[in-house]
Amino acid sequence: MATLFQGLYTALITPFKDGKVDERALAELIEWQIAEGVHGLVPCGTTGESPTLSYDEHKRVISLTIETARGRVPVLAGTGSNSTDEAIMLTSYAKQAGAAGALIVSPYYNKPTPEGLWRHFKAIHDAVALPIVLYNVPSRTNVNLSDALIAKLAQLPNIVGIKDATGDLARPYLLRHALARKPFAQLSGEDMTAVAFNVSGGVGCISVSSNITPHACAEVQNACLRGDYAQALKLHDELVPLHDVMFCETNPGPVKYAAALLGKCEASLRLPLVLPAESQQVRIREVLVNLRLL
């Protein structure tokens, strides 16, 4: 199961219009992503503003992504929550809707202990028979999944990988040593270090920048999958300014603004998130122009 989750997965934005999910824009974005060669889609993650989606919206974004993809690429649905019961409910829905797997973020705000984290993920695993990719993003959650805990969780049959957004390039090495021989997909959660992460033992990236340049980001990952890291680095270097500016302010503000410049959606986020400051908007536009995207 782990080999399913490799290559380029786009952490989809959630387009809004008049305060509601813009289903037409989302479906068009998905079609474009698939046509541009992405390997998979991730709705309702951090980039998809999942904390501000209602349960009905969250479920609808997942189901619409699956319906639009029509099996052409796997859908790894974001179903995490700081409530274990809520995460189980969303993961169960994702399975029912036909998701290939669930991306489950560490519980945020609660700040659980390692024992609490173990019980949280095991409860979800035991409740829903669906492949699970752990999502470690301590800058957002204030908790870090340790190598020892990840190795313990990886012994559960349906926990098949991790999205690591720490930017710590020692982690793929250390985790490979900590893990048993079971296949386990390590995916980068940070565009800037995606190639280096793959060299260290990763198998792909769950990308923010691919909302803007899906083909170029997919080509980087294709080169990595071929083992052609010189070509991957060459392609990656061209995207460095984009990766940098996509995090000039809190994600997904910059990527949402960039997508709006490309006509993919309205420049709309839900409070408390806001669009980047005007000075950063100028930077974003300049990068898109320099990459010949505008």
Active site residue 109: no
Alpha helices by DSSP H, 13-77: 23-35, 55-69
59 flagged as catalytic: no
Answer whether residue 223 shows pLDDT above 70: yes
Residue 4 confidence class, pLDDT cut points 50, 70, 90: confident
Mean pLDDT (whole number) for 185-190: 97
Model confidence pLDDT, tens digit, residues 59-102:
999 999 999 999 999 999 999 999 999 999 999 999 999 999 99
User: What strands, in cross-sheet order, belong to the sheet with 76-78?
Assistant: 40-42, 7-11, 204-207, 185-188, 159-164, 132-136, 101-105, 76-78
Range 262-275 average pLDDT: 97
pLDDT tens-digit map of 149-167: 999 999 999 999 999 999 9
Asked if residue 2 has pLDDT above 80, the reply is no
- Residue whose C-alpha is closest to residue 281's, from 18, 294, 22: 294
Q: The domain 2-227: what is its CATH number?
A: 3.20.20.70
Which candidate in 59, 93, 95, 135 is catalytic? 135
Least confident of 51-60, 144-153, 181-190, 277-286: 181-190
- Parse the chain into domains and list their residue ranges: 2-227
**Average of pLDDT values for 254-277?**
98
| SS3 assignment, position 42 | strand
Q: What is the DSSP string of 138-202?
A: HHHHS----HHHHHHHTTSTTEEEEEE-S--TTHHHHHHHHS-SS--EEEES-GGGHHHHHHTT-
* Packed helices 278-290 and 253-261: angle between N→C axes, nearest 10 degrees: 50
| pTM score | 0.97
Q: Which of 59, 152, 163, 264 is catalytic?
A: 163
Please check whether residue 54 is in contact with residue 86, taking contact to mean a CB–CB distance below 8 angstroms: no
Residue 105 has pLDDT above 70, yes or no: yes
Q: Measured between alpha carbons, how far is 9 from 206 in angstroms, rounded to an integer? A: 5
Is the predicted pLDDT of residue 186 greater than 60, yes or no? yes
